[in-house]
Structure 1
Amino acid sequence: MIGPYVNGACLLAGSISGALIGPKLNPNIRMQMPMVFGCASMGLGVAMIVKVKFLAPVVLALVLGSLFGELVQLERIIQKAAGHAKAWVEKIVPPTDTMNQHEFLEKFVALLVLFCVSGTGIYGSMSEGMTGDPTLLIVKSILDLFTAAIFASTMGYSLGLLVVPQFTVQSLLYLASALILPLTTPDMLADFSACGGLIMLATGFRICGIKQFPVASMIPALLIVMPMSWAWSILMP
């Protein structure tokens, strides 16, 4: 297992370096580069969406998954945990963030989705588990290194805490890939990619400050989209 370690190390290194150089970084770079990363997230989302095979189960999974996320208040749970984690980090190292608490939590949730449950990370982890090739996760690691550095320049060291859920998700997918992938079909993977793409698109809008989509509440859709795609292919051949 190489990819999850490399990705986690890059995220942590980017967060620490960004927090260290944040006050010295050109304000225009700190303000404008997140817009670029948001645009990149939207572009990746569109590229993933066009792979869709069965649109109906993808949309249904997104709706039902988001409804479940809202019912259990998943985003509020994540924001509350992030607030406690931020306070804990600031007891150890001096705060360097330049955001108010509300803005920090809004960005933190969007970045959690971007770093931890993006299509590249999920598929890359499963692919390495099956083939031993960490290429996809290493490519993602390079992007995460620079993304984390830019956002940490305004959000501080607390951003590095995302390495915990990121490494956990990727490691579990790596270990479970031998059981999951043999049960999937190309159509199921295509619809999974499309569902992840929709969430990535919403994440990009949120990072750019265009629209505050409930991206954390949309995460459960990823858990049900492949079974629903399989059921649709059986019922509607």
Structure 2
Amino acid sequence: MILLGTLVNAAAIIVGALLGRLLSRIPDSIRQTVMQGIGLAVILLGIKMSLGTENFLLMIVSVVLGAIIGELIGIEKGLNRLGQWLERKLGGNKQGSVATGFVTATLVYCIGAMGVLGAMDSGLRDNHDILYTKALIDGFSAIIFSSTLGIGVLFSAVPVFVYQGLIALLSTQIYNVVSQTTLDAMLVELTAVGGLMIIAIGINILEIRKINVANMLPALVIAALGVPIVGWLSKLFL
């Protein structure tokens, strides 16, 4: 079953978020310190990912163009509106808690190599080991996120399922389009650009500065498509 790994991942987030709500009465001082620790860990993860780039210029161009496209489309506003709609439906008494938890968790769970690689492995080889590992990590982090950011974290399971499910389904045809070498290079740059966004998420968690990370999401597509384009231009002019 191609979508089994994705289903397990989404279910782990839901279970983790529900367990996290049982810990919602943790003192504010402890929750604040825990979130600061998570923010620092997220930044470190992002740095590690971004340092893997083999084309620094492509990474910069991808982020700049992606941010422009994302701002014009208004991705961040759309996610926030969806979170606020969930807030109203649930009758939340803390303004923006559902929206904040939903947006933050969605970005953390969707941006990164494990989701892409795991979903592709599910589609190409019907192997779900990577997504099972991601499910374990996401489930535990959902406990922490939900206990500090609120029940909005639970709803991030929906975009995770859609995002990874589509990749799994589309990957069954990917080798008809690109070679293994090109695919590996695309994943390297996609991971590097995703790392920059992970750093931005960490900065948001630490409340150092508000960065519209969601508006940078198109950069992932640009980075992936930029690899074969750069290769073609290199052959053309060199």
TM-score > 0.5 by shorter chain: yes
Distance 1:50 1:178 in 2: 29
Distance 1:176 1:21 in 2: 39
How far off its partner does 1:26 sit? Answer: 4.4
* TM-score (norm. length: structure 2): 0.87
- Structure 2: gaps of 5 or more residues: none
Task: Give identity over the alignment, percent.
Answer: 28
Using structure 1 for the length normalisation, give the TM-score: 0.87
Are 1:16 and 1:160, in contact at CA under 8 Å, matched by a contact in 2? yes
- 2:138 maps to which residue? 144
> Equivalent residue of 1:211, what SS?
coil
How far is 1:106 from its partner? 4.3
Q: In 1, Cα distance between the equivalents of 2:102 and 2:210?
A: 12
Distance across 2 between alignment mates of 1:156 and 1:49 = 29
Tell me what 2:30 maps to: 29
Distance 2:100 2:154 in 1: 16
Q: Equivalents in 1 of 2:145, 2:44: separation in Å? A: 19
Question: Could you tell me which of 85, 107, 130 is aligned with 1:113?
Answer: 107
Distance 1:29 1:146, change over 3 A: farther
> Unaligned stretches of 5+ in structure 1?
none
User: d(CA) in 1 for partners of 2:141 and 2:175?
Assistant: 30
Deviations 1:98-132 (A, max 9, x none): x542x653453232110223332122211222233
Check conservation: 1:58, 1:229, Cα contact below 8 A: no
Aligned position for 1:48: 49
Aligned to 1:189: 187
Write out per-residue CA displacement over residues 18-76 of structure 1, whole angstroms, 9 at most, x where no aligned residue: 113312x3444322222222222222222221221212122111111110111121111
User: Do the aligned residues in 2 keep the contact of 1:30 with 1:151 (CA within 8 Å)?
Assistant: no
Give 1:1-237 correspondences, 5 Å limit: 1-23=3-25, 25-90=26-91, 95=92, 99-101=94-96, 105-180=99-174, 183=178, 185=182, 186-236=184-234
2:86 and 2:99 in contact (8 A); partners too: no
SS at match of 2:22: helix
Change beyond 3 A, Cα 1:179–1:39: farther
- The one-letter code matched in structure 1 to 2:122 is E
Q: How many residues align structurally?
A: 229
